[in-house]
Chains A and B, each alone.
Chain A
Amino acid sequence: MAELTYRDAVAAGIAQEMKRDDNVYFIGEDVAAAGGVFKTTGGLLDTFGPRRVRDTPISEEAIVGAVMGAAMAGLRPVGEVMFSDFFATCWDIVANQIAKTRYMTNGQVTLPLVLRSANGGGLRFGAQHSQAVENWAMAIPGLKVVAPSTPADVKGLLAASIRDDDPVVFLEAKSLYAVKGEVPDDEHVEPLGRAVVHGDGEDVVLIALAAMVPKALEAAERLRAEHDIGCRVVDLRCLVPLDVTAILAAVGATGRVFTVEENPRLCGWGAEISSIVAEEAFYDLDGPIVRITTPHVPLPAAESLEDATIPSVERIVDTVIKEQSG
């Protein structure tokens, strides 16, 4: 075990898979010589050389399209889209081509590829460099969607995403890049589609993803220590495949469900989970399902405004207390 930052775990995950499989290639804007604008991919160029780790022009359609074509023709490529907001510039290739081609060709085409991107707010970049777009990807049949919350999961889930034979949108929480955590030195692969449940509180479950997981964990601790409310936190880790079994088990154990979502409210992933819980675990519920989300607004830039927009520990704590005392 070594202590790595979330950002260093990205390079560790890619390096592990590039060593294992010569068909793994990595391309993107500023990813090779510069090591990535978030310094997530430093050292890869030196280790694997300029053919396997390659800078591209600012051409998201070319990056994502090249990754798709290469995956059709024998590589297992990883492409970086610098900010997840930029998926909007190449969404045709992601949503119409990558996601649908296997289905439309009756299984003739297999696309083992990963599109990595820095997702979400917290760095005061304003509305075009801070969106949490996981619900965009979740809405498209044919895309797997992964969003880790810890350095260990960055390495393990990125490895699994690269090994997976389906297209994976891998969303890194840019506000977590500096966070440190223990990461296995040896080969580390975490299976896709399995949530992690923290704690064994029996009052409420907080269901969270990526940057919202540490906030939910902190809120859970405060609720326990200061208000005697027992929480468990489900770290989804993947939206597709979705670990409904873990969700329903946590609902059954607690009876109150709160989702903590960074995506804007309408059609956020928590809406789908609320629907599943309402359909499949209605009689386990002791009260309404409550969604704690970014409101349905573009994200503002100023520090004070951004902090007041994205769900905070305080908002989670206050919402749970209000619901539990009501």
Chain B
Amino acid sequence: MEKPKGWADEAKLDETTRLDLYRKQSAIRQFEQRAYDLFLQNLVKGTSHLSLGQEAVAAGFGAAMRYDDFTFCTYRGHAHTLVRGASMTGLMAELLGRSNGILAGKGGSMHLTSTEHYAMGSYAIVGAHLPIAAGAAWAAQERGTGQVSVCFFGDGTTNIGAFHEAINLAAVWKLPVVFVCENNLYMEYTPISSVTAVEHPAAQRASAYGLESLIVDGNDVDEVYGIATTYIERARAGEGPALIEAKTYRKGGHSRADPAKYRPPEEVETWLARDPIDFYRSRLLELGFETAVLDDIDAQVLAEVNRATEEAKAAPPPSNDLIYTDVWADGGSQWRN
């Protein structure tokens, strides 16, 4: 299957967009690197799944979305929530279980949500959010809001029932939803190729639902932005859903517990040489952007990450009163009189 060419050309990237794409990737990279450092200091408890190496997918789609398009993502969702504009302090504090966390500590790393930014949640059961994203798209279609749902998931999701149920329903109802498979070659610890009947686990399933087979280089943010713009706007125009497979690679393991020693060294070397941020920085320099401009973006992001870290660390843990809040819409948890 040939990689479609020319998405970036189609998107007609201007200087502002390119710097935004660089900034978004830098923000994800530095946020995730800091999150990893905080694990090592045992300040982040539980588990956490980083997007290091996969930044271009969230950044490219994030930049292509209208402010009120819906994001649905997985437990590997720090990046997708961040690029919608959610507070970096709120996200960092949520990882640390602090009172100023974006969910006040009640959700944690795997459930980051910021509905004010239309980041409609991070879903930690594989596949569950595909039908939910379709449902939000259904509401947008019926209400005529012009919103599009963008739903991110991993390659491992392509073998679970909800993936197929959701895409079929979206196709039958012509829903404005773009499904984005981030194929990082591994479903947790196992090569996706060893447990899947086809080489391209999402793209080769698309035809079963009457959709185009779409593969994009998930480490080239211009290409991602281009395909994202094209298919989000098609969905917005009433032309129905899309399923896009973005090929990418994790820099590290599945979660904090995983050193990823099961990956062949040559494969790791090849992919790490295609680091999306190094790659994009080189491209921007070739295009004539000043080193100082890019360095300045990185420094601004670092300052923001430092501030978020300090504000999170300085905050107390959440009040125990929160245990009993917001089971119900009345704010409480009463199940009896």
Contacts and interface: CB of A to CB of B under 8 A. Distances in A.
Interface of A: 25, 51, 56-57, 59, 61-62, 64-75, 77, 92-93, 96-97, 101-110, 112, 141-142, 164-166, 193, 240-245, 276
Nearest to B108: A104
B128 A109 contact: no
Contacts of A142: 327-328
Contacts of A57: 165, 168-169, 172
A214 B132 CA distance: 38
Given A57-B172, A92-B125, A108-B114, A62 B165 contact: yes
Contact of A104 (B107, B139, B329): B107
A66 B328 contact: no
A96 B128 contact: yes
Contacts of A66: 131-132, 134-135, 138, 169
A109 B121 CA distance: 9
Interface of B: 70, 72, 103-104, 106-107, 111, 113-115, 120-121, 123, 125, 127-140, 142-143, 145, 147, 149, 161-162, 165-166, 168-169, 172, 322, 325-329, 331, 333-337
Contacts of A165: 329
B121 A110 contact: no
Nearest to B331: A107
Given A65-B130, A65-B166, A104-B107, A141 B333 contact: yes
Return the 3 tightest CB-CB contacts between A and B, nearest first. Answer: A69-B135, A65-B131, A73-B139
A59 B169 contact: yes
A61 B131 contact: yes
Given A65-B162, A68-B131, 7 more contacts: A69-B131, A70-B138, A109-B113, A109-B115, A109-B121, A141-B335, A164-B329
A288 B334 CA distance: 28
Contacts of A56: 169
Most chain A beta carbons < 10 A, residue from B131, B172, B322: B131
Nearest to A89: B161
B107 A105 contact: yes
B104 A65 contact: no
B161 A61 contact: yes
A96 to B, nearest CB: 5
Contacts of B111: 104-105
A144 to B, nearest CB: 8
Contact of B326 (A106, A112, A241): A106
A69 B337 contact: no
A124 to B, nearest CB: 30
Contacts of B168: 57, 59, 62
26 contacts: A56-B169, A57-B165, A59-B165, A61-B166, A62-B165, A65-B128, A65-B135, A66-B131, A69-B72, A69-B139, A70-B138, A72-B132, A73-B135, A73-B140, A74-B143, A93-B132, A102-B328, A104-B107, A105-B111, A109-B115, A112-B329, A142-B327, A166-B328, A241-B335, A242-B336, A276-B336
Contact of B128 (A97, A103, A106, A276): A97
A70 B135 CA distance: 5
B29 to A, nearest CB: 26
Given A110-B329, A193-B337, A103 B106 contact: yes
Contacts of A108: 103, 113-115
Contact of B327 (A51, A73, A141): A141
Contact of A72 (B106, B120, B130): B120
B248 to A, nearest CB: 26
A72 B136 contact: yes
A265 B161 CA distance: 32
B123 to A, nearest CB: 7
Contacts of B161: 61
A28 B253 CA distance: 41
Given A62-B166, A105-B115, A68 B135 contact: yes
B133 A104 contact: no
A108 to B, nearest CB: 5
B337 A243 contact: yes
Contacts of B337: 193, 241-245
B311 to A, nearest CB: 18
Contacts of B328: 102, 142, 166
B135 A61 contact: no
Contacts of A61: 127-128, 131, 161-162, 165-166
Contacts of B147: 73
B332 to A, nearest CB: 11
Contacts of B165: 57, 59, 61-62, 65
Contacts of A65: 128-132, 134-135, 162, 165-166
Most chain A beta carbons < 10 A, residue from B106, B121, B136, B165: B165
Contacts of A69: 72, 120, 131-139, 149
B104 to A, nearest CB: 4
A97 B125 contact: yes
B336 A244 contact: yes
B238 to A, nearest CB: 14
A57 to B, nearest CB: 6
Contacts of B143: 73-75
Given A102-B329, A105-B113, A240 B135 contact: no
Contacts of B136: 69-70, 72-73
A106 B327 contact: no
A59 B149 CA distance: 20
A107 B328 CA distance: 8
A62 B169 contact: yes
Nearest to B168: A57
Contacts of B322: 106
Contacts of A245: 337
Nearest to B141: A51
A218 to B, nearest CB: 28
A105 B333 contact: no
A245 B337 CA distance: 6
Nearest to B104: A106
Nearest to B149: A69
